[in-house]
């Protein structure tokens, strides 16, 4: 009998693999899935989650979001928290693209006003926003300047003219995570990051123009400045080659340190080190530096895109109405305080392909949003909807304050390309305007390669982790 068959249904959208189902399993695995999404659940994703439940210092439960799919060592859409004193930190449970995340920007423009010129506008964005594998930035950074980026994050970008001071208050952590140490990253990481700041990259990363299609919570939408028919800018990108190299380097260090700390693993992709150890602290500080790179990257990408729209329309910043709604991280490990049993404990919360979703009145939420909850931006796949949600109180009890991060793949990139060749790209993406530097990524990122994001969002809403606020329809997408 496979592990998936051993899952016990605990509610309409809740499944559990009890503690001790597998030898060495310290905590239960809890999954949030509808019947439809349960059918798509991979056996290997359950296995990866159970493997993580055997790690030293793991607390309470492994939580799996409805967009789950197999990842490196730990499933994408997974949440694991470990004790600060006795637990580990796991690079593979953070992911290669450290602080891959999403930024949502509001404008005063209406979709009907740019629809006739959308192809021309997207062509201008393509000229001004580098994207794709190996894309290079016009910003060339010396070692000392890159060190500044790694410490200051989005603030560095604002100080260079890419945005405004008020942008920073609507970024997770103010766009700069504390404890970042640029000296904990390798020369290879610096080499890879020196000319990629302000680039989108490839894969599922994008810059997109979207139109607000439906509003479910008028009061909260108004607080965020969102109205039906409005054009929004969404940016999905991360720490590029710099973050990838940090993960690569510290996975090797983790493997080398296992015997030193007496850690035995069911899967070497979960290689880890005690959080309090020299190796653990070194990775944590390098990871924060990579996260700050990503915050700066999205700051530049969002501002450049908005500036291109503004200049294309020949309007002022005031008329454009540019304002950052929010920017948050995926693929991150953060030290947070959570309730475990009857106690509050400091934990290292790993969110891999998952989004922080703190409820109203959390001190970590921007003051002007504090009474409604943290914005949770859920990007859909190319051609389908994206969503805005807000974190709710049950998230703290049910998922360490975490929600999903997107739709989740169901088709490999190779399968997607084969599907496109059979069906034809135009037949698949319909009326969406897509611009890219090559067709390869577009073929890999077709809607059919992903789960239905609306179903994923519905589960999160029904479980009570986050509440749906609005739905957005893409009208123009830039892919790598």
Q: Give the whole-angstrom CA distance, residue 354 versus residue 62.
A: 13
Q: Give the whole-angstrom CA distance, residue 54 versus residue 82.
A: 11
Q: With left for phi above 0 and alpha for psi between -120 and 50, is residue 295 left, alpha or beta?
A: alpha
Q: Exposed/middle/buried for 27, CB within 10 Å: 0-12, 13-18, 19+?
A: buried
Distances, alpha carbon 338 to alpha carbons 96, 127, 406, 431, in Å: 26, 46, 24, 46
**Contact, 167 vs 211, CB < 8 A?**
no
For the CA atoms of the chain, what is the radius of gyration? 21
Q: Name 202's bridge partners.
A: none
Which one from 244, 328, 405, 461 is the annotated catalytic residue?
405
Q: Which two tokens stand for residue 22?
A: 């597998």
Q: Give the whole-angstrom CA distance, residue 241 versus residue 170.
A: 25
Catalytic site residue 330?
no
Q: Give the whole-angstrom CA distance, residue 353 versus residue 242.
A: 18
For 75, phi then psi, to 5°, come to: -65, 145
Q: Give the whole-angstrom CA distance, residue 453 versus residue 440.
A: 23
**Contact, 411 vs 396, CB < 8 A?**
no
Maximal C-alpha separation, the chain = 65
Angle (nearest 5°) at CA 380 between 447 and 349:
130
Q: Give the whole-angstrom CA distance, residue 34 versus residue 133.
A: 35
Residue with tokens 């959570």: 338
Which positions are annotated as active-site residues? Answer: 405
């Amino acid at each position: 009998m496979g592990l998936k068959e051993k899952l016990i249904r605990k509610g309409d959208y809740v499944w559990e693999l009890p503690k001790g189902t597998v030898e060495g399993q310290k905590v239960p695995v809890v999954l949030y899935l509808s019947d439809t999404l349960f059918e798509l659940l991979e056996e290997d994703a359950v296995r990866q989650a159970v493997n993580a439940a055997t790690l030293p210092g793991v607390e309470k439960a492994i939580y799996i979001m409805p967009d789950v799919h197999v990842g490196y060592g730990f499933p994408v859409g997974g949440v694991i928290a470990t004790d600060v004193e006795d637990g580990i930190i796991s690079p593979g449970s953070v992911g290669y693209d450290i602080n891959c995340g999403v930024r949502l920007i509001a404008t005063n423009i209406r979709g009907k006003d740019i629809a006739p010129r959308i192809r021309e506008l997207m062509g201008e964005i393509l000229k001004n926003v580098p994207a794709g594998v190996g894309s290079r930035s016009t910003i060339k950074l010396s070692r000392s300047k890159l060190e500044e980026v790694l410490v200051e994050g989005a603030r560095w970008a604002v100080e260079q003219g890419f945005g405004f001071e008020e942008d920073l208050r609507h970024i997770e952590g103010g766009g700069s995570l504390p404890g970042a140490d640029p000296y904990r990253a390798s020369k290879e990481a610096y080499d890879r990051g020196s000319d990629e700041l302000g680039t989108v990259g490839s894969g599922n990363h994008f810059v997109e123009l979207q139109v607000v299609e439906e509003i479910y919570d008028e009061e909260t939408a108004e607080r965020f400045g969102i109205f039906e028919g409005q054009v929004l800018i969404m940016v999905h990108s991360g720490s590029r080659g710099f973050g990838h190299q940090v993960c690569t380097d510290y996975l090797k260090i983790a493997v080398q340190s296992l015997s030193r700390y007496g850690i035995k693993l069911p899967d070497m992709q979960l290689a880890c080190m005690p959080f309090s150890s020299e190796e653990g602290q070194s990775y944590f500080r390098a990871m924060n530096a990579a996260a700050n790179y990503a915050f700066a990257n999205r700051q530049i990408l969002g501002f450049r895109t908005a500036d291109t729209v503004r200049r294309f329309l020949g309007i002022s910043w005031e008329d454009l109405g540019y304002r950052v709604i929010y920017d948050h991280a995926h693929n991150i490990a953060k030290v947070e305080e959570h309730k475990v049993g009857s106690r509050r404990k400091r934990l290292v919360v790993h969110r891999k392909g998952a989004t922080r979703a703190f409820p109203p009145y959390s001190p970590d939420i921007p003051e002007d949003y504090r009474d409604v909850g943290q914005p949770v931006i859920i990007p859909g796949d190319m051609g389908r909807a994206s969503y805005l949600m807000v974190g709710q109180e049950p998230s703290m009890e049910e998922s360490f304050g975490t929600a999903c991060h997107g739709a989740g793949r169901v088709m490999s990139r190779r399968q997607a390309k084969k599907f496109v060749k059979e069906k034809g790209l135009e037949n698949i993406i319909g009326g969406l305007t897509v611009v890219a530097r090559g067709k390869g990524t577009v073929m890999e990122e077709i809607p059919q390669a992903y789960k239905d994001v609306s179903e994923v969002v519905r589960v999160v809403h029904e479980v009570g982790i986050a509440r749906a606020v609005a739905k957005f329809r893409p009208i123009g997408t830039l892919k790598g």
